[in-house]
Amino acid sequence: MTQQETPEDPLVLQDLRRFLANKQQDPPSLFDTSAMAVPVAAISALLGVVERSQAETMMGLQDDLKQAADCMIQNHPQVIAVRSGCELFLRYSTRTFLELPNFSECKKQILERGERFQMISLAARDRIARAAADFIPAGATVLTTGWSRVVAAILREAKHPFDLIVCEGRPDASGAKAAACYARESNIPVKVILDSAVAYYMEKVDLVLVGAEGVLENGGVVNKLGTATMAMCAKASGKPFYVAAESYKFARLYPLHQSDVPVNHQTVQCVDTTTMQTISWDEKITADNPSSDFTPAKYISLLFTDLGVLTPSAVSDELIRLYQ
């Protein structure tokens, strides 16, 4: 049982956390090829719901799946990632029922195809890395942020030497942890900078490469807080801004504003890192930390996906194909 788990948690939540924790190296590695992405873990948890379901009709099974999907979406911090995996699986299960009206045969087919999808999805990072590696020229300086295994796969696949700058990624230091992993497991020269130093360093970089929690219908992306700021600085500086994401992170959302995107909000403590002193606040002061932000399509140069290299405008067409 994981640290966050309690015996009262629904089984689907226990499964989701177990899949995400399973086979994790200590310390965690960006290059761990067995690690599951959040949408794939959500699909794997839904397969467990299918196995356990006592429903005798497709409508009953779909009700069980919908309740389980809602439970995961409401209780996991990466709302968009969980939602994209669940929506894809629910659409797939409906299509399977239309193809196979016999319920027991349909249920068997859902499980078999779902297990095959798990295997295919684990190879998605390799396909993206091969397609994107040529976009990193010799001697380039690359700027990134957050903890992204697909970005790590691309950087490892790059054919020429380059330098890497990583934003520290407050409040969870995800970028600093990623930098430690690059230094430990690769020969990539890495520099860690403050999140607030993006504009200062933008003139020194040749391209920006980030991952994504979700790719949205309008071609924009949701990712680690600070990604949108980075994209705006890159656009103003004339630097290409690339996003790497697997197709199972495509989500049917069409936001117009930051507030249209469901993200987690957490309170944070402010620490003076020069003295490691926690700042005490008056009760009149509130602190907020959105976990992610929305980067509009107009700031994105290209998306590297397992479906190919896409322009932001092509995302809606691919979503239509995925959900047909």
At 8 the pLDDT is 59
Domain spans of the chain, in order of start: 11-122, 125-322
**Which one, of 271, 302, 309, 301, lies nearest residue 287 by Cα?**
271
* pLDDT, average across residues 129-140: 95
Q: Which fold has domain 11-122?
A: Four Helix Bundle (Hemerythrin (Met), subunit A) (1.20.120)
Alpha-carbon separation of residue 257 from 110, 125, 203, 291, 322 (angstroms):
37, 30, 28, 16, 25
Q: Can you give the pLDDT at residue 156?
A: 93
pLDDT, tens only, 66-82: 999 999 999 888 888 89
* Residue 59 host element (H or E): helix 58-75
Percent of the chain past pLDDT 70, that is, above it, reads 95
For the cut 70, the answer to whether the pLDDT of residue 18 exceeds it is: yes
Residue 27's pLDDT is 66
SS3 227: helix
Indicate the SS3 state at residue 58: helix
Give the mean model confidence (pLDDT) for residues 283-312.
Answer: 92
Position 25 confidence tier, pLDDT thresholds 50, 70, 90: low
- Higher model confidence: residue 274 or residue 130? 130
How many other C-beta atoms can be found within 10 angstroms of the C-beta atom of residue 104?
9
Mean pLDDT of 182-207: 94
What letter represents residue 1's amino acid?
M
- pLDDT interval class at 2 (50, 70, 90): very low
pLDDT digit string, tens, across residues 200-244: 999 999 999 999 999 999 999 999 999 999 999 999 999 999 999
Give yes or no for a contact between 255 and 261, defined as CB atoms under 8 angstroms apart: yes
* pLDDT surpasses 90 at 165: yes
* Model confidence band, residue 3 (pLDDT cutoffs 50, 70, 90): very low
Q: Which CATH architecture has domain 125-322?
A: 3-Layer(aba) Sandwich (3.40)
**Which pLDDT score is estimated for 283?**
81
Name the most confidently modeled range: 24-38, 51-65, 274-288, 310-324: 51-65
Is the pLDDT score of 267 beyond 70?
yes
CA dist list (Å): 11 to 15, 18, 42, 66: 6, 10, 12, 14
Choose between 28 and 302: higher pLDDT: 302
- Summary mean pLDDT of the chain: 88
Average of per-residue pLDDT across 186-198: 93
